[in-house]
Structure 1
Amino acid sequence: MRFFVPCAKGLEYLLVDELQALGASRATAAVAGANADGEDELPYRVALWSRLASRALWPLAEFPCPDEQALYDGAARIDWSQHLGEEGTLAVDATVSGPGITHARFAALRVKDAIVDQCRQQTGQRPSVDTEDPDLRLNLSVRKGRATLSVDLAGPLHRRGWRQAQGEAPLKENLAAAVLLRGGWPAVAAEGGALMDPMCGSGTLLIEGALMAATWRRGLQRHGLARRRAGRASTARCGSACARTPGPAPMPAGLRCNRAISGATTMRRVIAAAQRNAESAGVAHAIDLQVTDLVHLSPPGPAQGLVVCNPPYDQRLAADPALYRQLGEALRHAVPDWSASILAGERELGFATGLRASKTYAMFNGALECALLVCPRVGGRDRADAPARPLGEGAQMVANRLRKNLRKLKAWRAREGVDCFRAYDADLPEYSAAVDVYTEAVEPRRVFLHVQEYAAPADIPEEDTRRRLGELVRACAEVFDVPRERIATKTRSRGKGGSKYGRFDQRGEFITVREGQALLRVNLFDYLDTGLFLDHRPLRARLAAESAGKHVLNLFAYTGAASVQAAVGGAASTTSVDLSATYLQWAGENLALNDCTGPSHRLVQADALRFVESDRGHYDLVFCDPPTFSNSARATTSMSSATMCAC
C-alpha cells in the first residue's frame, strides 16, 4: 500500500532511512515528506516510533479536486459511520496548493460540512468539532488538482508529551532529532561518548539525545491514542493492523542512561525550565545542567563526544555573529577532539564560528530556513592537511580578479610600504562588494579581510545575494589564504530611520596596523567602519608632511588617525574634537600607541561647530572630515567632503 509521510523540509532523506528501518518496502523523498510502500501496519509504526515525521497518516480516499464542489462530493462519498460514532468529535487540518482551491481553512471547512451533513441525514445528530483532542482527526492534502483525505493517527508527532516549559524560541523535537542524527549521536552514544549543549535553552536537544541514547521510542505517550483512533477510524480496513502492531513496554521508572550528557546556559530560569522538562521525560538523572557562560565551558568527562547547539538567530543580520565566534572559540578550547552539529540561522552565521564543516544541510525551523553544520572535529585540521575544495565558477571569477588586482598593486605597495589597502571594489557587477586588506604591524603579521557588501537592488532575490556573498568570501579566503574567522562581512544599507552606522558585534578584537610611521588600532568586526578610512590615506600623509612644529586642530576627529599622523610628523600640539566619547577614547589609545600623550595632545568631547564658535585657540592647520550622516541627537549639523585648510 502507498503512504505519504510528511516531515519538516530538510528532513526528507533522514525520514526515508527511518521509514525503511520501520519496515517500508520502498521509500522515496518528496517535498516536505516521503512516499512509502508498505504493509497496513506502517502508519501505526510511524505514529508509535518515528522521531522525524510530522504526522502519521492513514489514507481513506483520493479523488480529483478541481474545485470546492468536487471536494465536498468526494468527502461525502465516504461512509463516515465507519469512522465516527454518534457522540464523536472531529477536526480537519488542510494544506492546499494549485489554482483550484487556494484557502486551506476553507477547504477544511468544506470537508467538515460534508461529514456533518451526512451524519445529520443518517442519525439526526451533528458531530462536534474538537481541535485539541478529537476522536477523529482528518488530514486533507490538495495538490495538482487531486485531494487525499487521511486519518491523522496521532496529531503533531513533534509533541513528545514531556514539554512542561519552553523558552522564547523552542526547537521542535523532530528537528532536534535530525540535528542529533546528522551529528551521528547514536553511534557516539553506543561507543560511550558524551553529549553537550553549551546553549541548551529549555533542553530539547539534550532530552531528545538522552531518550535516543536510552533507546526509548517516542511512541510511548502516543500508543493509546493511535490505537483509539484506529479503532474508531477504520475497523473494516485496518482495525486488525493496529492489533498486530506491537506496543512498547512502559518506560522504566528508573531509566538508566549511562552517558555523560550536559547542558549550560546563562539564565537560571531557563535552566529551571530545562530541569522540569527533563523530569517530565524521565531523564533528569541522566542530564547535568549548569548555569555558566561560554567562557567557562568545560567538557563533561569522556574524551570523545558530540556538541549539539541551536544558537540564537533571527532574520538576516539581526543575529549576533560575535556570539557565534565566541561559541567556536570556546568549543575549540574545551573540546577540540569532539565532533559538532550546529543549527545556525544561516550559513554565514555558522561560518562565523570558525568551525570547519564537512557537510552543511538546509533545514527549516517552521518557515525559517536554517543551516546545519556538521563538523567531524571541532579543532579542525591543519590547512596543509585539509583537502582543497575547488571553487565554483562564480567564486573562481572573483578569485581571478583579486589576483589580477594584487599583481597591479604589488609595485605600488612595495614602494609606499602600504599594508592596508582596498583590493577589490565591485569590479564584477554581480559581486558588488568592497574588499579591504588589513595586515598586523606586529608579529605574526596576520592578514585580516574586511568585506562590505553593497545592498543589492530590490528585484534581486535574497537567495542570489546570499549565494554571491558566500562565493566572494570563499574566493577571498583562498586568494589571501586566511581562515573564515579572520574575514569580517558586513552589508552597507540604510536601516530604520535612515541609519547607516551602528554597532554590530561585541567581539572587542582590535588589531594594530601601520600607516606610514604611525601605528593605529582598528576593529573590523564591531562597527560598520573599522576606525580607519583607507581612501583618506593621501590626505593624512600630506598632513604628516606639513605638521612639523605646527598646532593642529582635528574637527570630527573620529578615532584620531589624522591627529596621530600630525603628531608623528612633529606637530607642536594636536587638538582632537568629536562628540562621541567612544571615538575619543579610541583616539586617545591611538595617540598613546605612538607615545603622543600629555597636555600637547588634547581630546575634547564637543560638537565641532559649537567648539569653533567658543574656542579661542590659535591653530596653524585645521583638518575637517565631517561625517556624511549622523544619528546623534546632540549633533547640530552634518557636512560632507574632507578638507584641509591652512590658517
Structure 2
Amino acid sequence: MQQQYFATAALGLEPLLATELENMGAADVKQERAGVRFSGDLEMAYHACLWSRLANRVLLPLANFAALDADQLYDEVLKVDWSEHLAVTSTLAVDCTLVSSKINHTRYGALRVKDAIVDQFRSRSGERPSVSVERPDVRLNLHIYKDQATLSIDLSGDSLHRRGYRIDGVHAPLKETLAAAILIRAGWPDICAAGGALVDPLCGSGTLPLEAGLIATDTAPGLLRSYFGFTGWKQHDVAAWDAVVEAARQRQARGLERKIAPIVGYDSDHRAIKAAWQHAQNAGLDKVIHFERRTLREFTPPAGASTGLLVANPPYGERLGVASELPVFYNLLGEKMAKQCPGWHAAVITSSPQLGRSIGLRAGKINVLYNGALKCQLLQFDLEDSNHWQSLEDGAGKAVKKKLSAGAEMFANRLRKNSKKLKKWAGREKIDCYRLYDADLPEYAVAVDLYGDEVHLQEYRAPKEIDEHKSAERLRDVQDALPLVLDLPADKIHLKIRQQQKGNWQYEKQARRGVLKEVQEGNCKFLVNLTDYLDTGLFLDHRLTRQLIQQMAGGGRFLNLFAYTGAATVHALMGGALTTTTVDMSKTYLSWAEKNIALNHFDPADEEIIQADCLSWIETATGEYDLIFLDPPTFSNSKGMDATFDVQRDHVSLLQKTVRLLSPGGALIFSNNLRKFNMDREALTGLDIEDMSAKTIPLDFERNPRIHNCWLIKRS
C-alpha cells in the first residue's frame, strides 16, 4: 500500500536528500524546509531508514487536524485507534515541535498527546502503556504549524545519524549525516568509482573517512543499528524488513570484495586515532580504512595514490589553544593541499569565511551547510597548477571589500544610525555589550548584539511563506554589511539561528569551543560564551533589572532562583548584600556563576551556591531573605525535575511559595519572558504587585518592549 512519509534533515541538506530518495525509488518527492516529503510502500520506508545517509528521521503521518488549544489536540488524538499501533504492554514516547502555534510549549503538547493515548487504553481495558524516553516501542512525533497538527509514527525511533559504530566523540565530531553530505557535495561517490583515494589530514575520531568507507563499500549506514522505531509497532512487517536487511548485507559483501583506493585519516592526537580505529573495527572497515598519528606538517598523501579527494574539518581552537594561531594553521593546510596533492580535488568546511581565505587557494565552488545552528561554508578546490597557493605574508586571508547591494546598504545605514545613537550612551553607562539592531527593518529579521569587539548575530527563522533563497540572500547582505560598518573581521561575527524554542533547547550545546569572553556592565564584569549556546550567558534585556537588584540589595540577604550564570548575584554583591544564595539545576551554569563571582573580586566559597531543582528546593527551603530574584523559564520538563513547569499555569503557586521566604518588609522581583503572560492578581491576595516591565526595558531594547515582564512584589 502506498503511503506518504516525511524525512527530516538538517538545513541545507534538503536537495541532496531529495535526490537520494529519488535514487532509492521513492515517488512524489518534494523538498520542504528541513526535510523531504515522499511516498511509497512500507518497504520503501524501511529502505529509507536503513539506507539514507542524510536523513535524521523518517516519519509516517497518521493524522492531520486543527489544534487551536490543548483540549482540541487531546480530542483529535483520541480519534485514532491506538490499539492498531501499540499494545497495552508497549512503551511510548512523544516528541513535539511547534511553529506559530497557540499551543506554545512543546513539552505540554507532547504531554497532551500521551494523555489521550493512555486514557484511551485505560477506558477500554483498565490498563495503560508506559512511557519510556529511551528506546520506546513506539515513538510519536507531533508537529504543529499555524495551529495545524500532524501526528506521525517515528519509524526511525532515534536519529539516523547514530550509525552504531561510535564509542567516543573525541573533539566534538562532525555529525555523521553532515559528514556524508560533505562527501556527496564534494563528489566522493564519483571520485571513488573512478579509482580515486581519500585523505583527511585532520580526521579526529574518523567520521569523514568512516562515512567515505561506507559509501565506497556500498554499506547501508543503518546496518549496525540495533534499534529502529518500527520494531515495536504493531503494523511492522518483519518479513519485509528482513528482506531489506538481507539485500543490504549482500550489497555490503560485494562492496567489501571490491578493490578500493586508499582511504586514510591522520590526526596529531593519539587518543583520536585510537578512537578512530575502534570505530573502524565496529563498522567492519578496519581493513578498508587506515588511520595514523601524524601532524599536519608531516602530511603526505597515501602512497600510490595519484588522484583523489582531500577533505578536512579544521579545528576551531580546542587543539591549538588560541584563535590567533588558526590563520597560520589554515594557511599551512592550503600549502600542503597545493604542494602535496596536485591534481586532486579538495573540500574544507569552516564557519569562518576569513579563515577560509587564509587557506590561500581559490575555491571554485562554495556550498552553504549548517552544523547545528552554525552556518558554515564548504569550500571546494581543484588543486591545479593554475590555482597558486598564497602565503599569509603575500596577502592570503585579507578580506576583499566588495560593493554592497542596495539591500545591504540599507541595512548598513540603519546600523550606522543605531550605532551613532547607542555608542555614546553605552560609553556613559560603562557598557560594552548591548543590542545594536533588532529586526528594525522587516526585510532583515536579525538581532545584532555587540560584545566588545565581537558580534553575536541571531537570524530569526523566516516564515515558511518567505522564499528561502530570498531569506539566504538577505542574510548574506547582513554578513556583508556588518564587518564594514563595525570595522570587524568576519570571524568575530558569530551567527545563530533563532526559532521557536523546544523545551530547554536554548540552553543546549551548539558547539564545544568553551571560549569565555570578558565583558563590562556598569561596575560589574561577566564572562560570556558567543559560540557554544544559543544564548551567551548574559541576558542583555535584564540589565536594568540587575541594576535595580544592586540598588535594593545593600545590607540584606539575597536569593537568586533559576540563577543561570549568576549575573544577578554579582550585582547583589556589588550592591553590598550581606549574604547571597544562588540556586540552579545546572552544574555547568553554577560553575560559570562561580567564575563570574570571582571575576568581580568576591570569593565564591563565601556565598551559598546550591545545585537543585528550584521548584523542589522552595518546597522545603527555610530562612528569610530581604530580596529575592525569581526568573523562571516559560516552560520546563528537564530530566532533573519532578514535574513539568508552565509559568502561566503555575505562577500563582510559585509566587505563593516564594513569598513565604521573604523577611518582613522584603521584596520579590519576578520576571519572565512569556509575551502573553497574564498575572492572576485575584488569586494573589495579600500581595502588593507593581508592574515594573516598562521601567526595566533598557534603551537598546525599546523596539521590543515585550521582551520580558517584570513585577515588584511585597506583602501588603
**TM-score interval (norm. to shorter):** 0.5 to 0.7
In the alignment, the residues of structure 1 paired with residue 45 and residue 205 of structure 2 have an alpha-carbon distance, to the nearest angstrom, of 30
- Tell me how far 1:275 sits from its aligned partner: 0.8
Please name the residue that 1:15 is paired with. 17
Given candidates 444, 460, 479, the residue that maps to 1:466 is 479
Classify 1:21/1:491 alpha carbon distance in 2 versus 1 (closer, same or farther; 3 Å).
closer
Determine the C-alpha separation between the residues in 2 that align with 1:217 and 1:63.
36
What's the CA shift string for 1:160-215, capped at 9, x where partnerless?
Answer: 11111211312111111000000100001001111111110110111010110011
- Pairwise CA distance, 1:497: 5.2
Instruction: Report the counterpart of residue 337 of structure 1 in structure 2.
Output: 343
Aligned to 1:482: none
Equivalent in 184, 189, 193 of residue 192 of structure 2? 189
Find the partner of 1:367 among 370, 373, 397. 373
TM superposition shift of 1:26: 2.6
Amino acid at match of 2:518: K
CA offset digits 1:42-80 (Å, max 9, x no partner):
322211111100101111111111121121112111111
SS class of match (2:247): coil
Q: 1:162 aligns with which of 162, 165, 177?
A: 165
Separation in structure 2 between the aligned mates of residue 222 and residue 248 of structure 1, nearest angstrom: 16
Match of residue 349, structure 1, among 331, 350, 355:
355
> 1:285-434 residue pairs with structure 2 within 5 A?
285-300=287-302, 301-313=304-316, 320-377=326-383, 381=387, 394=404
Relative distance call for 1:45 and 1:490 in structure 2 (3 A) is closer
CA contact (8 A) 1:47 1:222 kept: no
Contact 1:313 1:319 survives alignment (8 Å): no
Matched, 1:248 2:247: yes
Structure 2: how far apart are the matches of 1:347 and 1:87?
54
Contiguous gaps of at least 5 residues in structure 1? 384-389, 399-425, 433-453, 474-486, 500-647
SS at match of 2:38: strand
Task: Within 5 Å, give how 1:172-183 maps onto structure 2.
Answer: 172-183=175-186
Question: What secondary structure does 1:56 align onto?
Answer: strand
- 8 Å CA contact 1:93, 1:138 repeated in 2: yes
Pair 355,36 (structure 1): closer, same or farther in 2 beyond 3 Å:
farther
> 2:88–2:127: 8 Å Cα contact kept in structure 1?
yes
8 Å contact from structure 1 (residues 94, 140) kept in 2: yes
Identity %: 39
1:491–1:34 CA distance, 2 compared to 1 (3 A) = closer
Give the conservation status (yes or no) of the 8 Å contact 2:197–2:309.
yes
1:44 and 1:56 in contact (8 A); partners too: no
Q: How do residues 197-596 of structure 1 correspond to structure 2 at under 5 angstroms?
A: 197-222=200-225, 225=228, 228-229=231-232, 232-234=233-235, 247-250=246-249, 252=253, 255-256=256-257, 258-300=260-302, 301-313=304-316, 320-377=326-383, 381=387, 394=404, 458-459=436-437, 461=448, 462=457, 465-468=478-481, 496=518
CA contact (8 A) 2:82 2:117 kept: yes
Amino acid at match of 2:436: A
Task: Supply the AA of the counterpart residue of 1:42.
Answer: M
| Letter matched to residue 20 of structure 1 | E
Paired with 1:468 and 1:322, the residues of 2 have a C-alpha distance of: 26
Following the alignment from structure 2 to structure 1, what is the Cα–Cα distance between the partners of residues 434 and 333? Answer: 30
| Cα deviation code 1:518-562 (max 9, x no counterpart) | xxxxxxxxxxxxxxxxxxxxxxxxxxxxxxxxxxxxxxxxxxxxx
Q: What whole-Å deviation, never above 9, does each CA across 1:107-158 have from its counterpart, x for those lacking one?
A: 1111111111111112211211122211111111111211111111122110
Quick check: 1:64–1:147 contact (8 Å CA) kept in 2? yes
Counterparts in 2 of 1:144 and 1:234: CA distance versus 1, 3 Å:
farther
Moved more, 9-18 or 458-467: 458-467
Instruction: Judge conservation of contact 1:356–1:380 (CA < 8 Å) in 2.
Output: no
SS, match of residue 404 in structure 2: helix
Per-residue CA distance 1:599-620 (angstroms, 9 max, x = gap)? xxxxxxxxxxxxxxxxxxxxxx
> Please, which moves more after superposition, 157-166 or 337-346?
337-346
Q: Which moved more, 1:77-86 or 1:323-332?
A: 323-332
Secondary structure (helix, strand or coil) at the match of 2:378 reads: strand
Deviates more, 1:124-133 or 1:191-200: 124-133
Query: Are the structure 2 counterparts of residues 130 and 50 from structure 1 closer, same or farther at C-alpha, using a change threshold of 3 Å?
Result: same
Cα distance in 1 for residues equivalent to 2:312 and 2:305: 18
Q: Rate the CA distance shift 1:396–1:296 in 2: closer, same or farther, 3 A.
A: farther
- Measured in 2, the distance between the counterparts of 1:244 and 1:201 equals 36
- In 1, the alpha carbon distance for the partners of 2:56 and 2:386 equals 35
- Shift in Å, 1:498: 6.4
Q: Is the 8 A contact 2:218 2:255 kept in 1?
A: no
1:606-641 residue CA offsets vs partner (Å, 9 max, x unmatched): xxxxxxxxxxxxxxxxxxxxxxxxxxxxxxxxxxxx
Contact 2:404 2:480 in 1 (8 A): no
What is the TM-score with the length of structure 1 in the denominator? 0.59
Code of the residue aligned with 1:142 in structure 2: it is: I
Instruction: Identify unmatched segments of 5+ residues in structure 2.
Output: 390-399, 420-431, 438-446, 449-456, 458-474, 495-515, 522-716
Contact 1:456 1:465 (C-alpha < 8 Å) held by counterparts: no
Contact 1:336–1:377 (CA under 8 A) maintained in structure 2: yes
- For 1:577, the equivalent position in structure 2 comes to none
TM-superposed deviation, 1:245: 5.2
**Secondary structure class of the residue paired with 1:221:** coil
Q: Quick check: 2:354–2:489 contact (8 Å CA) kept in 1? A: no
Distance 1:234 1:106 in 2: 28
CA RMSD of aligned residues (A): 3.9
**Residue 350 of structure 1 contacts residue 373 of structure 1 at CA under 8 Å; is this kept in 2?**
yes
1:284 Cα offset (Å): 1.2
1:80–1:185 Cα change, 3 Å: same
Looking at structure 2, the residues matched to 17 and 183 of structure 1 have their Cα atoms a distance apart, in angstroms, of 15
> SS of 1:86's equivalent?
coil
For 1:337, the aligned partner's letter is G
SS in 2 for 1:171: coil
Q: CA deviation at 1:351?
A: 2.3
Amino acid at match of 1:458: L
Equivalent residue, structure 1, for 2:662: none
Residues in 1 aligned to 2:105 and 2:355: alpha-carbon distance in whole angstroms: 36
- The CA distance in 1 between the partners of 2:64 and 2:337, in whole Å, is 51
Question: In the TM superposition, what is the alpha-carbon distance from 1:41 to its structure 2 partner?
Answer: 3.4
C-alpha contact (below 8 Å) 2:338/2:383 kept by paired residues: no
1:545-602 per-residue CA deviation (whole Å, 9 max, x = no partner) reads xxxxxxxxxxxxxxxxxxxxxxxxxxxxxxxxxxxxxxxxxxxxxxxxxxxxxxxxxx
Structure 1 distance, partners of 2:164, 2:56, is 14
- Distance change (3 Å), C-alpha of 1:455 and 1:116: closer
How far off is 1:227 after superposition?
A: 5.7
* Contact 2:137-2:229 within 8 A present in 1 as well: no
Deviation, structure 1 residue 312: 1.9
User: Residue 507 of structure 1 aligns with which residue?
Assistant: none
Inter-CA distance 130–490: structure 2 relative to 1 (3 Å threshold): closer
Q: Distance in 2 between matches of 1:127 and 1:39?
A: 28
1:375-410, Cα deviation, whole Å (9 max, x unpaired) = 233765369xxxxxx997517999xxxxxxxxxxxx
Q: What's the secondary structure of 1:174's corresponding residue?
A: helix
Whether the 8 Å contact between 1:6 and 1:55 is mirrored in structure 2 is yes
Tell me the residue number matched to 2:30.
28
Query: More deviation in 198-207 or 309-318?
Result: 309-318
Q: Over residues 291-332 of structure 1, what are the superposed CA-to-partner deviations in whole Å (9 max), with x where a residue is unaligned?
A: 111111100131111111111237997993332222222222
Deviation at 1:355, TM superposition (A): 2.9
